[in-house]
Amino acid sequence: MSGGGGYDTDELARLAQGVCERATPHEEIEVCVSTGRSMTVRAYLGEVESLKSGVSAAIGIRIVSGGRQGFASAGSLDHDVVADTLEAARRNVEFGEPDPHQALALPDGALPPGLDLSDASVLSIPESDKIATAIDIERRCLAADPRISGVRVAAWSDAWSQRALASSAGICAQSESGNCSVGVQPLAVSGDETQIGYAGDAARRFDDLDIDRVISEAAEMATGQLGATKPRSERLTVVLEPSVAAAFLRVVSSVLTADSVLKGRSPFADRVSEQIADERLHLADDPTDPSTLGAANHDGEGLGARRNELINAGVLQGFLHNAYTARRSATVSTGSAVRSTRSVPGVGLHAMTVSPGDVAAEDLLASVCDGVLVRGVNGLHSGVNPTSGDFSVGAWGHRIAGGELAEPFREATIASTLQRMLLDICGIGAEAKRLAGGMAMPPLVIADVALSGV
């Protein structure tokens, strides 16, 4: 099957292997090649506002020689371009800093999970259906509430990609996958006040998109903030909605990578086997879960994907590694290399998973009694100090009074540290909500968080 550029995955693998065979006796070569196609449709006032489609191809070549690394990439798989890219990577080796830990990943015996992620149904969706979906989302969002006066964005997107990676160390991996997504951004008006909402979803199949949820959540987000005011400043218990909880835990996961530890950018360095969170928290990276878009058979260096426990019953189990950080840390890769065709491998999360707790949905607000429900945050990544763990981010949502949802608030900040936030978890929802991309996430209840407003 060809998703773009006229190649199938077997042809991409042969191309990558062919380049690896050009390695000199003193070189290690790793080649990543990919092709893809995509389409985006935007609707406005019941018509097509824009329709963009395209195909792509790329190659990235990494060479290691004498502990020095050189890398080059290009946006074509033409024979001459591939040859030029190989020579450019060789020239760039000369400028690399010598590093005794720099080398390609070696096969480690970890078998890939054998997931079938190549459901090609997204390729057979007619263009007319994509257009109709975008227009229908706009129409339904406008009809969802009389206070919604317009829709800034109503969009459909889809993509299909094929990829192969080969190295002179004996690794060869290939994959193909696709996804589709929808998103809508309505405007709610009351008097002189306008509020903007947003919701979206992404899945491998059109039938797995929850468009009803997208419309209801977007409308509720916009209308639910009408009349919101700045809250009073105090320390209180906060409930993080699943999407917000996921955003915070992704930040936590980002400092549980060996790359962050080695760069001195993790407050959890040297704390393996210590209690760093409430015992209710179980956090893992699980690319073997086929229900998520983060699922994969191989990592960014071609090693078999595997589940990695990060926090178990609140205890730090270890850090995520790629081949380079593993060598520097005298350990083994956790199959956690991440990369694009145009970049060298880094370390990162593939598919975060959090185990649900024991607080039933109907008891969640009552368990707090008085606090706030945080429905959205902004400035999260810029508002977190990865070295100290301190964070202060913008937040909006609703107050919780007497165990019931009360008035909305906005223009507030919540502040604490990642370390304290994890230890101050005092409840985890028993029901996980499916987020865009298939990840299931329960709400988190965090005690003693500083809320700043007026």
Residue 50, classified by CB atoms within 10 Å of its CB into exposed (0-12), middle (13-18) or buried (19+), is exposed
Please state, for a pLDDT cut of 90, what percent of the chain lies above it.
Answer: 96
Residue closest to 303 by CA, chosen among 169, 103, 110: 110
Neighbours of 417 (CB within 10 A): 16
Sequence-ordered list of residues with C-beta below 8 angstroms from that of 50, at least 6 positions apart, any chain: 40, 41, 42
Please state, for a pLDDT cut of 70, what percent of the chain lies above it.
Answer: 99
Tens of pLDDT, residue by residue over 143-191, are 999 999 999 999 999 999 999 999 999 999 999 999 999 999 999 999 9
Q: Please, are residues 147 and 327 in contact by the beta-carbon 8 Å criterion?
A: no
At residue 242, the 3 state secondary structure works out as helix
Residue 454 pLDDT level (bands cut at 50, 70, 90): confident
Domains of the chain: 9-223 (3.30.2290.10), 228-454 (no CATH)
C-alpha separations of 327 from 96, 106, 183, 202, 356 in Å: 18, 11, 42, 36, 35
Across residues 23-51, what is the average pLDDT? Answer: 97
372: number of CA atoms within 13 Å, CB side?
Answer: 28
Tens of pLDDT, residue by residue over 281-322, are 999 999 999 999 999 999 999 999 999 999 999 999 999 999
Residue 395 pLDDT level (bands cut at 50, 70, 90): very high
- How many Å apart are CA 445 and CA 367, to the nearest integer? 9
Tens of pLDDT, residue by residue over 339-392, are 999 999 999 999 999 999 999 999 999 999 999 999 999 999 888 998 999 999
